[in-house]
Amino acid sequence: MHKHSPDLDGSSSSQWDPFEDHRLIPSEMNKTGELSKFSVDNFVSKPRIACRCITKADLVKGSNCAYTSAMTSNSQPPQSIDELMQRAYSMAGQSLSELAQSWAIQVPNNLKRDKGWVGQLIELQLGATAGSKAEPDFAHLGVELKTLPLSHSNTPLETTYVTVVPLVGHRSMRFEDSVVYHKLKRVLWVPVQGERDIPVGDRIIGTPILWEPTPEQWRILRNDWEELMEMVALGQVESISARFGDALHIRPKAANSRALTEGVGQGGTIIQTLPRGFYLQKSFTQGILHSVFG
> Over the stretch 46-97, which tens digit does the pLDDT of each residue have?
333 232 222 333 223 333 333 332 233 356 899 999 999 999 999 999 999 9
pLDDT digits (tens, 9 = 90+) for 256-284: 778 899 999 888 889 999 999 999 999 99
pLDDT digits (tens, 9 = 90+) for 169-195: 766 689 999 999 999 999 999 999 999
The CATH number of 6-219+280-293, from 3.40.600.10, 3.30.2290.10, 3.40.630.30, 3.30.1360.20, is 3.40.600.10
How many Å apart are CA 129 and CA 77, to the nearest integer? 7
Q: What average pLDDT does range 84-113 have in this prediction?
A: 94
- CATH 3.40.600.10 in the chain, residue ranges: 6-219+280-293
Highest mean pLDDT among 11-15, 48-52, 196-200, 289-293: 196-200
Q: Are 267 and 142 in contact (CB under 8 A)?
A: no
Give yes or no for residue 106 having a pLDDT over 60: yes
Give yes or no for residue 294 having a pLDDT over 90: no
Tell me, yes or no, if the pTM score tops 0.85.
no
How many Å apart are CA 61 and CA 117, to the nearest integer? 11
How many Å apart are CA 98 and CA 117, to the nearest integer? 14
pLDDT band at 206 (very low <50, low <70, confident <90, very high): very high
Q: Are 45 and 212 in contact (CB under 8 A)?
A: yes
How many Å apart are CA 205 and CA 210, to the nearest integer? 15
Q: What average pLDDT does range 139-158 have in this prediction?
A: 95
In sequence order, what are the residues at sequence separation of 6 or more whose Cβ sits closer than 8 angstroms to the Cβ of residue 178?
225
Considering just the CA atoms, what is the radius of gyration of the chain in Å? 20
pLDDT for the residue 183:
95
Give yes or no for residue 4 having a pLDDT over 70: no
pLDDT for the residue 20:
64
Instruction: Please tell me which residue, 151 or 14, carries the higher pLDDT value.
Output: 151
* Alpha-carbon separation of residue 13 from 17, 104, 155, 209 (angstroms): 12, 40, 11, 20
pLDDT digits (tens, 9 = 90+) for 223-263: 999 999 999 999 999 999 888 999 999 999 877 778 899 99
How many Å apart are CA 168 and CA 1, to the nearest integer? 21
